[in-house]
Chain A
Amino acid sequence: MVVETDLVVVGAGPAGTSAALAAANAGLGVILIDEAREAGGQVYRAPARTLKASTKTRDRDAVVGVRLRAALDRSSVRFERGLRVWSIGERFRTDTAGPEGVRTFKAPRLIAAGGAFERTVPFPGWTLPGVMGLAAATILLKSEAMLPGRRVVIAGCGPLLAAVAAKVSGGGGDVAAVIDMASRRQWASVMLQLATRFNLLREGAGWVLGLARRRVPIHFASTIRRIDEADGLLSVEIGPVDGKGRARPGRSSLINDVDAVAVGHGLVPGVEITRLAGAAHTYDRLRGGWVPVLDAMGRTTIEGLYAAGDGCGIRGALSAATAGTLAGLAAAGDAGALDPDTLASKSEPQLKEAARLDRFSAAVSDLLALRPGQVADIAPDTVVCRCEDVRRADIDAAIADGAADVNQLKHFTRCGMGPCQGRMCGDVVGELVALHAGSREAAGAWTPRPPLRPVPLADLIGSYSYNDMPIPKPVPL
């Protein structure tokens, strides 16, 4: 019933896939698990099966994805697809559920490579139909080859803005405007730091030039103030912001007749597995929020538990792959499959590459990091926890009522108790509590509990007979 192996890797994005390949090449038995049917993760996401034949436009990411999947196919890694990991236990029992029922794996080592979540800092109208995440829009574009809308506003921060805008307009959509929180100055300083990464610069420049050619207006140092809906169309009010994300006094303007808005304010590491396992974490604003404490190889503070990729700090896909390789090597070394010298020599070039990529990703992460002023600016009436309909004012009232950290706040308001279990709003709520508690450390983080993702009860129970169930001794009368 329980399948045992040397190493379980959760998440088949660039981090997990590289980790699995490195460990398997070193001789470990590896089981790689992903809830998706195909490896690739967020960036190298495979197009839906029905689209495969018809997809002609292959961008760089698509090519890397195809290569990644081919390498996985050739390897000894056992890829368990379409399984959702819902619980991680001692040494490292990994419980999964899928339409075919539950399955359990166990290994003395586990690499957590579950990736990141998108952050949206709430504003009036962010929950309207037609308004979606920026990263979520990439999923539509990549896996379904679908445009988010016909006339689209793209807003928020970071490199995904240009990438999504380019994809939408390249796919025949009309990009009404790109609204970027960063200023031209901030971009210029990032570009300087990126100067060593020619292909990335070239790619970025290509997107921007493409947008310029199509005369897409780009508003720098601006943000969406609110979105209103009338007759199925959206009108988007934008206005200027300062470097901390605070609204600056200044003229706002309206963009009308929009049918979709893609808006995202960076990414938050998905640390559920490392937190559930009890590893130490630290708050790192630049890397997206709470991150596990790791050594250079990706070892957490729990023996046998490793982490790699955006799930332990936002660094992007290239860094994720390198970190994955390192964690895979570390697991192999710690398991005795690589002698210390081989481990050191195999790791050295990867460690150098990781350090090189880190300089680059640090520049970008400044663009993606949460801007405190933007959170402080959230209006009292704005819904913060959309699952439970909790407004900024409700959160402030609970704090006034004595809620000293995010967990107490949750009990007082249901904030974070919905289906997403606070994955969407957690970072913003932590920041709101920190405004009173003094720091993110004092505000704390929500207690992690299974399931790691919601699981249909039908998947959990499978088929069973009541009479065969092991019912414990009745409680005493």
Chain B
Amino acid sequence: MNDVYKIISDTTMTYKQQLLSLARLAEGSEINLDLSDEYYNAKNDSVICDLNEGNAPYRPRYIIPDYSVLMNKGCDFLQLDAPTDLWEACNSLLIMYSHVPSITSFPVYLGGFDDLLEPFVTDLSDAEIEKCLRLFLLNIDRTLTDSFVHANIGPKDSRVGRIVLKLSEQMQLAIPNITLKYDEELTSDEFANLAITCMLKTAKPSFANHKMFVSEWSENYSIASCYNGLKIGGGGYTLPRLRMYELSQKAIDINDFMNNVLPKYTKIMCEFMDARVKFIVEESAFFKSNFLVTEKFLDINNFTGMFGMVGLNECVNNLLNIKDHSLGYGNNEKADEIGVEIMEKLSQLVADHKAPYCSGFNDQYRLHAQVGIDSDGREDSPGARIRVGNEPEIFEHIVHSGKFHKYFPTGIGDIFKFEETWLNTPNALLDIIKGAFKMNMRYFSGYLDSNDVVRVTGYLVKKSELYKLDSNKQSLNNVSIFGKGARDTGCALDRKVEKNVSTN
């Protein structure tokens, strides 16, 4: 069936979803990028995946505006003065959100809610703050209908932060995704416990290892989209992925993989990224005329390209000829060692490539553990994650994650599903998170087995929305359809529930 016709006649898509899909089609059809045959071969072999970014990129994939500019100065283009109270501040933000592009055309970053709004609440009662933020969150959920929309809170306790948590719990909304920047020394246990209770009930916020991000990015970092670490006032130009399982099939043995295959394809991918980045900066209008750039909400020096990868698990097991995944990566010291060696090598190869327009990042791209897309099936697990169903008990799982998270400054995370009793003991879960961050885990997500809002591979969906799609009804949320794919083909919701497991 003709692709355009397929979209137009699809009764499960909303009008806006159809419009965006049609635009994506146009973006993909026009051949503007000058790419090598080697790239096209790699793409045809499914070794490199461009995540449907298309051939005519007209904006960076992820855009992280510095909203403090809006709070302090307002915006000429949007004819907004600097806000003087909480209502004006929320209104200005909502107006601006609808003008922030991204790969999905929804803003992937909404700002640090507490940093932006706390200055306006000093003289307000909790009831008024709550009323305002309730409308603010509701507006976001119903207009920015995409679970990659992401807000930050923390690391410090705040009235705004507490009310955002309280409302998230009450309202049970999938949007926005929220991250708490957590640092044992800056975040009070009390605030962290509130966040944990909220996380168990609504699958958000997730916890970001603040110390680790600050040491790499300075204070000026954000968590956007799924769990992507990016600079505020900047973003990520592009995110293609190496599909490591398919890559491993190109090698005769481990040596060949390390010394020939991995360097060859890393180079092809880096060159592909160079072409995209140059096109976005030099050809498309974005960096020349978009108000976000001209009014300094963005600075090109804060952008980098994200070198994505999936399927480390299956790659390692294939290289070691391990057929039974329960005995491989994540459950096997040798396999984990090979995994680390691959990551060391890949990091070095990517760092050695001189990337254009990444001057704020030593002219380097940064690695990203991509969460997978529904068409990945079960060949490539997300990023460096252990296959769903083969996770060891939580303690070993975290230690394993700690070995790999450091390689992915632009994002990696693990998700843990907990049984009901943990809701009564947020302190116990906080002990685990504190330990996890000491062991160099970068990003920790959790949810309760029995929730409606669940985390699929990085983004949130409502199970009830998935059921709607099952019965061919429309879902307002743009990513429910991905969630359905991940659930049906990737078993993403079958991950292990953390009980008290014995390992004697």
The answer to whether A binds B is: no
Which residues of B line the A interface, CB within 8 A? none
